[in-house]
Amino acid sequence: MVSRQRAAHMERMEEDGKKLSRIHNLDESKIILATCAHDLFRDTNPDKLLKIASVWKLQITKEERYLPLLLHGKIASEYIKRRFSVDDAEILDAISYHTSGIPTNSKIVKALVVLDTTEHGRKFDGVKKLREIACKSLDTGYDAVIKNKIAYALIHDLLILEKTVQTWNYLKGLSS
């Protein structure tokens, strides 16, 4: 379902996820499942993503209609729910929202967002610092990764996802 590079990205996340689980005492089995499933549909054709979302009656946001690739997390989450009867809300949310983040206190959701940005194959300015922060504190790491997403979007003239803005405001104390 995915390219070799994508599979390698997920494997690196799994590896880092095990380390992060030991550091922060997370449920490692949830992290492994979430990392191995999160990008299963990342290489799927955008038209197909829209089709699957519509057949499965998933709610499609304006942003996802504009950029269907954004659906890949939501669809992967629904897929493991249907195909493997996964019903753990933390795992499903972590997969659904790994790109945008969500206002949450779940360590699993936070860890997946952090791991996706900081896995050891990622190379961008500041990634080492983000890894260090996340190793010290998952909460602070999540804040820093969300901040990085917004800064990256501004610098590269990209959309800022509504959920990312909601997450940022939540982290600044606005209740969701």
Which residues of this chain interact with Fe ion, rule CB under 5 A?
Answer: 39, 42, 116
Residue whose CB is less far from Fe ion, 39 or 78: 39
**Rounded (10°) angle between helices 107-118 and 138-155:** 50
Residue whose CB is less far from Fe ion, 39 or 93: 39
Residue whose CB is less far from Fe ion, 86 or 114: 114
d(Cα 98, Cα 119) in Å, to the nearest integer? 13
Residue whose CB is less far from Fe ion, 42 or 163: 42
Work out how close the CB of 10 gets to Fe ion at its nearest, in angstroms, rounded to a whole number.
Answer: 7
Residue whose CB is less far from Fe ion, 116 or 143: 116
Tokens 């659906």 found at: 71
d(Cα 148, Cα 53) in Å, to the nearest integer? 29
Work out how close the CB of 9 gets to Fe ion at its nearest, in angstroms, rounded to a whole number.
Answer: 6
Work out how close the CB of 172 gets to Fe ion at its nearest, in angstroms, rounded to a whole number.
Answer: 25
Angstrom CA distances, 1 to 79, 105, 162, 170, stand at: 12, 31, 28, 35
Contacts of 131 (CB under 8 A, 6+ apart): 118, 120
Work out how close the CB of 11 gets to Fe ion at its nearest, in angstroms, rounded to a whole number.
Answer: 11
> Closest Cα partner for 162 from 101, 74, 98?
101
Work out how close the CB of 38 gets to Fe ion at its nearest, in angstroms, rounded to a whole number.
Answer: 6
d(Cα 35, Cα 16) in Å, to the nearest integer? 10
